């Protein structure tokens, strides 16, 4: 199948009604629903999403009207309230998912050890210990295991294990899981100790795709619409963190501005529709405010679908 056919098929999987015995997931730090869409594509039934950002919540509700949302600071959600909102008892949840804010760890930022956002994993661990799901998935930037931030990573690993889980951590790149974007992320997968199963990660399932396979190039008067001439200075930057050749996977999408793509002697920024497609969001996905930020902050749905499918076979079925 072509990439667009894959997205269309995955969207239909998302729309398929869930059976009562479908695997269940709760999403913490849910954002606009990138991870949630990945789990839904993999056949999960989401019981609750937790997110404090109003713009992200607006987009989430546009696309997941049947999922309850705790729209508040995660620190205000105690275990009893979380269980009540999800309609479950401790130990009944299949997967707890979460992507604690990563700005304090990101190599694109200042990487400050004292950044308060570095400590939000404690909230994930607190709910993990109380909910006792069969498995958990935590996603974060690769910078968590680089340089001085590795000290925080070791602390996170220790705390997650102390909640009663066997834990495995690995760097995975979304471009090997059907996403036309080079986006490396740290994925931690944990399995509850009493299940006596070792956590593991999915292996690469696709080759990297160049953007030429994803973006429809329309010619107009000899130039592509919206394109301009490329300066020598720009041409020398085509492999940095914003410029990219059409023959390569897209650079990691940022939350503030779209990448610039190059073809021969011309250049242009990616459109919102193209960024969403490169982020592996199918075209019917509805966007609310600050869409570029939402896409840049999201886990690509196809990436999370591959992880969710693996965890389902590992610890749920």
Catalytic residues, which ones? 102
Q: 134: how many CB neighbours lie within 10 A of its CB?
A: 23
Classify burial at 229, counting beta carbons within 10 Å of its beta carbon; exposed 0-12, middle 13-18, buried 19 or more: exposed
- Asked if 152 and 116 touch (Cβ cutoff 8 Å), the reply is no
- Rounded Cα–Cα distance for residues 80 and 193 (Å): 23
Helix (H) or strand (E) holding 118: none
Residue 146 neighbours by CB under 8 Å, 6+ apart: 107
- Do residues 103 and 109 touch, judged by C-beta distance below 8 A? yes
Identify the DSSP state of 104: T
Q: In the numeric block, which tokens belong to residue 250? A: 């897209």
Round to whole Å and give the CA distance between 249 and 255. 18
Distance CA 137, CA 99 (A): 9
Give the Cα separation of 177 and 158 in Å (integer): 29
* Maximum CA extent, the chain: 66
By the 8 A CB rule, do 107 and 143 touch? yes
């Amino acid at each position: 199948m072509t990439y667009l056919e894959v997205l269309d098929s995955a969207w239909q999987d998302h729309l398929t009604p869930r059976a009562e015995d479908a695997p269940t997931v709760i999403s913490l730090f849910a954002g606009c629903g990138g991870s949630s869409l990945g789990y839904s594509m993999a056949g999960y039934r989401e019981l609750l999403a937790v997110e404090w950002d109003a713009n992200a919540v607006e987009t989430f509700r546009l696309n997941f009207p049947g999922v309850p949302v705790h729209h508040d600071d995660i620190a205000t959600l105690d275990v009893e309230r979380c269980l009540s909102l999800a309609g479950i008892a401790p130990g009944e949840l299949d997967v707890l998912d979460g992507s604690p804010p990563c700005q304090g760890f990101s190599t694109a930022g200042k990487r400050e050890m004292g950044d308060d956002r570095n400590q939000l994993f404690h909230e994930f661990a607190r709910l993990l210990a109380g909910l006792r799901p069969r498995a958990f998935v935590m996603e974060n930037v690769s910078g968590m295991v680089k340089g001085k931030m590795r000290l925080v990573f070791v602390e996170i690993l220790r705390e997650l294990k102390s909640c009663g889980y066997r834990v495995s951590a690995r760097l995975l790149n979304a471009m090997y899981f059907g996403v036309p974007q080079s986006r490396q992320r740290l994925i931690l997968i944990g399995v509850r100790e009493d299940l006596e199963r070792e956590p593991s990660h999915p292996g690469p399932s696709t080759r990297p795709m160049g953007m030429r396979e994803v973006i429809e190039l329309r010619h107009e008067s000899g130039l592509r619409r919206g394109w301009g001439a490329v300066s020598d200075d720009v041409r020398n930057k085509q492999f940095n963190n914003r410029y990219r050749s059409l023959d390569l996977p897209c650079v990691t999408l940022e939350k503030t501005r779209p990448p610039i793509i190059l073809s021969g002697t011309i250049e242009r920024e990616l459109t919102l529709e193209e960024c969403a497609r490169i982020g592996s969001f199918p075209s019917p996905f509805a966007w609310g405010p600050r869409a570029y930020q939402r896409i840049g902050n999201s886990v690509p749905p196809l990436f999370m679908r591959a992880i969710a499918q693996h965890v389902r076979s590992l610890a749920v079925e």
